[in-house]
Amino acid sequence: MPSRTNFSPDGRQAPSALLLCLFLPFFLAFSVKIQDNPYNTVNSHSISCPTVDKKFLLKLPVGRPADVVLTGPERTNACEQLQAAVGNCLSLVMDSLTGKIIYTRNIDHRGKRIRITWEGKKLAKAIDDHTITVKVLASKSWETSTDSLLLGGAYMGNNVTGIYRTTFDQPSKRVLVETRQEVNTVNTGTISNYYEKPGEDMLHEVIESYIGGKYSQKSGISDKPAPHSLYYVAAHKAAPSQSGQIYIRSYGYVAPTATSAAQVDSIVFYVKTDNKNELKIRTLFKPPKTP
């Protein structure tokens, strides 16, 4: 869920999202105050996503696609969150060299495949589609590579790279697409676990990027990062829902809720439910005026 005005799972604006459009430019160069919280770990029921070496990959069936790729210092955390999202129907492993994610169907005590969940089907489809490579940069950064605010995830567009060729080097009518997504894994984990839907925000980011790639594959046109994207809005709505809404509260010098950018002293991003205390994600402070 990138630095944008729609902070709810269904793409609608939060009640104070309009304030963000007015205030955020005042808050992007400044000191940050972050509340420590107990929710930034992966749910204890999630299954770890181990890295594997190339010898393991060579044992897989020839041509087995694996085209969801996790990169960055937090890629293991990202993989663990994906594992939590698909539950026990799939087991995920990550290639330690390339970051490619591979899945296997799990079986029950009778030796039968466990029924795959809707979330599992979405992830398996993205992995199995080797005409679209989903690349996810996972870190603890609060900013994207284009210097935008990174609260959870950011849609960074994609590139149409050329004509796809099959294993036998035969041309195909489908073009290759390489997508880009950036995630702050601390925040995706914090938000998902707060709403008791572990891994759901990470799954949303991966599938949102994949769906954007499908749109570009159909049109043959590369896409730009949000908010200048051709396909972001459609991809965001079609992806699995995020775990819950992020709320915005602005503070003025006198009034608890300011009504114009000139009155704003700080902006707070937080999550809340009826049966839990609200949890602050980040506070942004306006930089001091220069003389």
Q: For residue 65, give the nearest of 173, 156, 176 by alpha carbon.
A: 176
**In the chain, where does DSSP find H-type helix?**
17-23, 54-58, 75-86, 118-128, 185-194, 200-219, 232-238
pLDDT of residue 197: 96
The mean pLDDT value of the chain amounts to 77
Per-residue pLDDT of 181-201, as tens digits, reads 999 999 999 999 999 999 999
Cα–Cα distance for residue pair 195/190, rounded to 1 Å: 9
- More confident: 128 or 39: 128
pLDDT of residue 169: 62
Strand partners, 113: 107
Q: How confident is the model at residue 283 (pLDDT cuts 50, 70, 90)?
A: confident
Range among 103-107, 172-176, 181-185, 243-247 with highest mean pLDDT value: 181-185
Q: How far apart are the first and last CA of the chain?
A: 36
Per-residue pLDDT of 128-178, as tens digits, reads 998 899 999 999 999 899 988 898 999 999 999 887 766 566 666 788 999
